[in-house]
Amino acid sequence: MKKRLFFIGSCFFVFLVVLTWVSSSFFVKKSNIQQQGNILPTPIIFQQNLTPATPLDIVSVTPQDGATGVSTKAQIVFIFNKSVSLQDVSVWLGPNTNYSVKTDLNKLIITPSAQLLTGTVYTFSLKFINDSFSKDYSFTTRGVGPISNPKTLDSFSATANSWEQSFRPDIFVSNKTPFQGNDFAVRSEYSDLPTGHMAFSVILLSQNGKAGFLSWLSSLGLTNQQIQSLDITYMGSE
């Protein structure tokens, strides 16, 4: 009888030991699973390339500035450091020369409508619309002709100024800014919406500020239609 009780007791003790071991193993595994479930994945950080866009710049010009003996059938070719459009630049050629302008990737080509005169100094100019920077060039055609009349840059600039007033009043007015009168102050900046143009911010310094600004535009020789075409923002009291 005692042996049977001892055997039963021993089996029960072994059962308790096994049960305790199994239970502890289960809870340890569950705890590990929960801890692993709470571990967040390591974030992947992508570095963005924030290099600013390369500004448009002139690489070369043909004919070169000051060139002589240039063919009377020559084209004027600007090569830029990247693609260019007629929304980026404007050009002029004189004296008294009709011409066409086109772009081809990073090239801008000015083609005179007729053969150039011999022995004549021609001046051409290119202006960047977004910052109003401009540069003048000149060349002399080959031969001795009836017109050996070098146009001065001042007179050529006057021709360009007249062209701007007629066809690009925004650039024409921008070249007069910043400007401050008794009743207003105006500044200009480039805007590419909806297309490239010069926009104007006008600070009204008095109740007559808007009328004074419009009167100033009229004094520059602009028509009402040209004034209405300008991108104008008024600030201050009206």
Q: Is residue 23 part of a domain?
A: no
How many other β-carbons are positioned within 10 Å of the β-carbon of residue 77? 15
Q: What is the DSSP string of 174-236?
A: HTT-SEE-SSEEEEEEEE-SSSSEEEEEEEE-STTHHHHHHHHHHHTT--HHHHHHSEEEEEE
CATH number at residue 79: 2.60.40.1220
- 148 and 181, same domain (yes or no): no
User: What is the reported pLDDT for 4?
Assistant: 60
Q: Is residue 118 part of a domain?
A: yes
User: What is the reported pLDDT for 91?
Assistant: 86
Which of 132, 167, 202 is at the close of a domain?
A: 167
Which of 142, 167, 192 is at the close of a domain?
A: 167
- 141 and 207, same domain (yes or no): no
- 129 and 224, same domain (yes or no): no
Mean pLDDT by 10 residues, the chain (238 residues): 59 62 54 51 59 82 90 93 89 84 92 88 85 80 61 51 72 84 87 75 91 92 90 83
Q: Is residue 53 part of a domain?
A: no
User: What is the reported pLDDT for 169?
Assistant: 84
- 180 and 227, same domain (yes or no): yes
Q: Is residue 13 part of a domain?
A: no
User: What is the reported pLDDT for 75?
Assistant: 93
- 184 and 232, same domain (yes or no): yes
User: What is the reported pLDDT for 10?
Assistant: 64
Q: Is residue 7 part of a domain?
A: no
- 134 and 179, same domain (yes or no): no
- 185 and 158, same domain (yes or no): no
- 68 and 158, same domain (yes or no): yes
Domain span including residue 202: 173-236
- 143 and 91, same domain (yes or no): yes
Q: What is the DSSP string of 104-170?
A: ETTEEEEEESSPPPTT-EEEEEEEETTT--EEEEEEEESS--S---PPPHHHHHHHHHHHHHHH-HH
Q: Is residue 6 part of a domain?
A: no
Which of 167, 190, 212 is at the close of a domain?
A: 167
Q: Number of structural domains, the chain?
A: 2
Q: Is residue 196 part of a domain?
A: yes
- 163 and 62, same domain (yes or no): yes
User: What is the reported pLDDT for 150?
Assistant: 44
Report the predicted TM-score, pTM, of the whole model to 2 decimal places.
Answer: 0.46
